[in-house]
């Protein structure tokens, strides 16, 4: 283990260098679409308000300056703002896989807690809004996002990628309705707004914070049709998946049953299994018997 550890090489140098922005060569030029995106606008606003938080990652090229591996949008923001020097991390390899291919975006619930920590520490709403390039009303909506959401649901959604529009829908349900809905979301791996709306529509009035009986009855019928359509689509997809592997599965089962049949023909093995594992032995014999009684045509159909 010590020898293996000794052979490991750090992916970057520990010290941070301050380099002229003009000495850095990007691997690609930012498109006009990327520069118009909300992400770039937030980066630009953040760099303008509080400076560069995460250094650029560069690799030295002999006689050609430094190749930019990570931070292309930050690089473009610095150019627009007229920055002359920038802090950089020096990579020991000229590949960008390490930096670009495993980016984890912060889920909305985690963003909410980060925002609340910033507000508690005294950062003004206006400054946060300016940094994120949004209006103050949007910051206040984010701060109020989890109001009326029960703690169990918050915990279940803490690391999930979902739309902010989900929370106003959950807020219309009582705690038990919220928990039941989110448990289904986790089970189905479906955190869509449409699914939440469907669950809201078919929820009985007793599970809702406010409900109109007449409107709820109409919503029940529409939502039932929606769920029926979704379940039908799911059944069709499952059948297609079964069709694709059916032939291979039947062949595997046939070969396995033939092997077990020969195995059970050994008296010593049969006596041992009958003495120590009678239940599984009887089940396997039943399966083998069923395979014998099935015609090849029945197995293929």
Of 63, 94, 125, which residue sits at a domain end?
94
Domain of 138, in residue numbers: 106-145
Instruction: State the residue for tokens 């627009």.
Output: 80
Q: What is the CA radius of gyration of the chain?
A: 30
Contact assessment for residue 209 and residue 177, using Cβ atoms and an 8 Å cutoff: no
If asked whether residues 86 and 122 sit together in one domain, one would say no
Nearest to 48, CA basis, from 22, 18, 74: 74
Per-residue pLDDT tens over the stretch 146-197: 999 999 999 999 888 888 899 999 999 999 999 999 999 998 888 988 888 8
Lowest mean per-residue pLDDT among 115-124, 188-197, 288-297: 288-297
Contact assessment for residue 13 and residue 93, using Cβ atoms and an 8 Å cutoff: no
Is residue 210 assigned to a domain?
A: no
Q: Which of the pair, 222 or 272, is modelled with greater confidence?
A: 272
Question: Tell me, what DSSP letter sits at residue 206?
Answer: G
If asked whether residues 21 and 78 sit together in one domain, one would say yes
Is residue 174 assigned to a domain?
A: no
Lowest mean per-residue pLDDT among 91-95, 109-113, 129-133, 229-233: 229-233
If you average pLDDT over every residue of the chain, what do you get? 79
If asked whether residues 123 and 90 sit together in one domain, one would say no
Nearest to 100, CA basis, from 17, 19, 25, 11: 11
Is residue 246 assigned to a domain?
A: yes
Per-residue pLDDT tens over the stretch 209-254: 875 444 455 555 555 566 666 666 666 676 777 777 777 877 888 8
Cα 136 from Cα 122, distance rounded (Å): 15
Q: What is the pLDDT of residue 41?
A: 86
Residue 101 has pLDDT above 80, yes or no: no
Distance of CA 79 to the CA centre of its chain: 33
If asked whether residues 120 and 73 sit together in one domain, one would say no
Cα 243 from Cα 291, distance rounded (Å): 19
Number of domains within the chain: 3
Is residue 42 assigned to a domain?
A: yes
Is residue 25 assigned to a domain?
A: yes
């Amino acid at each position: 283990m010590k020898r293996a550890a000794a052979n490991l090489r750090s992916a970057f140098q520990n010290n941070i260098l301050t380099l002229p922005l003009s000495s850095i060569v990007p691997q690609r030029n930012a498109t006009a679409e990327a520069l118009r995106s909300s992400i770039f606008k937030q980066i630009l606003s953040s760099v303008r308000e509080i400076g560069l938080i995460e250094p650029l990652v560069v690799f030295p090229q002999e006689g050609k300056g430094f190749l930019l591996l990570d931070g292309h949008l930050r690089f473009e923001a610095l150019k627009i703002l007229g920055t002359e020097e920038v802090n950089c991390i020096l990579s020991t390899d000229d590949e960008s896989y390490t930096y670009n291919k495993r980016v984890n975006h912060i889920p909305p619930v985690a963003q909410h807690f980060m925002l609340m920590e910033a507000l508690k520490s005294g950062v003004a709403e206006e400054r946060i809004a300016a940094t994120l390039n949004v209006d103050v009303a949007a910051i206040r909506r984010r701060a109020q996002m989890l109001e009326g959401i029960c703690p169990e649901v918050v915990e279940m959604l803490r690391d999930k990628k979902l739309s902010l529009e989900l929370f106003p829908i959950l807020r219309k349900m009582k705690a038990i309705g919220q928990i039941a809905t989110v448990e289904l979301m986790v089970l189905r791996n479906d955190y869509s707004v449409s699914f939440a709306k469907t669950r809201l529509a078919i929820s009985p009035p007793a599970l809702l914070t406010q409900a109109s009986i007449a409107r709820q009855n109409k919503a029940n019928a529409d939502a039932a049709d929606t769920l029926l359509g979704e379940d039908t689509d799911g059944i069709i997809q499952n059948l297609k998946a079964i069709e694709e592997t059916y032939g291979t599965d039947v062949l595997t089962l046939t070969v396995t049953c033939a092997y077990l049949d020969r195995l059970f023909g050994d008296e010593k093995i049969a006596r041992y299994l009958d003495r120590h594992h009678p239940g599984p032995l009887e089940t396997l014999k039943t399966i083998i018997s069923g395979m014998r009684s099935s015609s090849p045509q029945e197995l293929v159909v």
